Amino acid sequence: MRMRNLSTLALLALALALATGAMAKNGPKPDHSNHGHGIGKGGVPARIADLQAQIDALHGQIDEINQFIDHDLDGFSAKQGDCDDTNAAVHPGATEIAGNAIDDNCDGNVDEATTTSTGNGHP
Ligand SMILES: [Ca+2]
Ligand SMILES: [Ca+2]
Ligand SMILES: [Ca+2]
């Protein structure tokens, strides 16, 4: 009986030692790198700069997406050659109106001779 109790005690001690050793080896370690605040040393300005960079990147993506949107509903987006997507009268294929100082047909020429224009952006 006494022998059995000693064995049980020894097994319990061994199990406790193994568990303690395992915890010390694999258990969570305290993280002192950011003092538990999740921002880091001197982190607020750095975090703001990081967020600003993300915002700038998103603005770039929005600008890129806007190139595909036909804002003035004339059938052409900027990506499709609309050189003034705020004026529905201006788009590739529009009739060039002489004397208005506008490249109405978006061919890169302002007020060019309208008789030579084919209306497809290639006079
Ligand atoms: Ca348009
Ligand atoms: Ca033109
Ligand atoms: Ca014009």
Distance 92 CA to ligand 1 centre (A): 9
Give the ligand with the smallest distance to the CA of 123: 2
List the structure tokens of 95.
């009739």
| Amino acid (1-letter code) at residue 112 | E
Residues lining ligand 2 (ion), CB within 5 A? 96, 103, 105, 107, 109
d(CA 48, CA 30) in angstroms, rounded, equals 26
Q: Give pTM, 2 decimals.
A: 0.52
pLDDT, tens digit (0-9, with 9 covering 90-100), for 11-58: 445 455 555 555 555 555 555 555 555 666 668 999 999 999 999 999
Q: What is the mean pLDDT of residues 81-102?
A: 97
- Rounded Cα gap, residues 51 and 41, in angstroms: 17
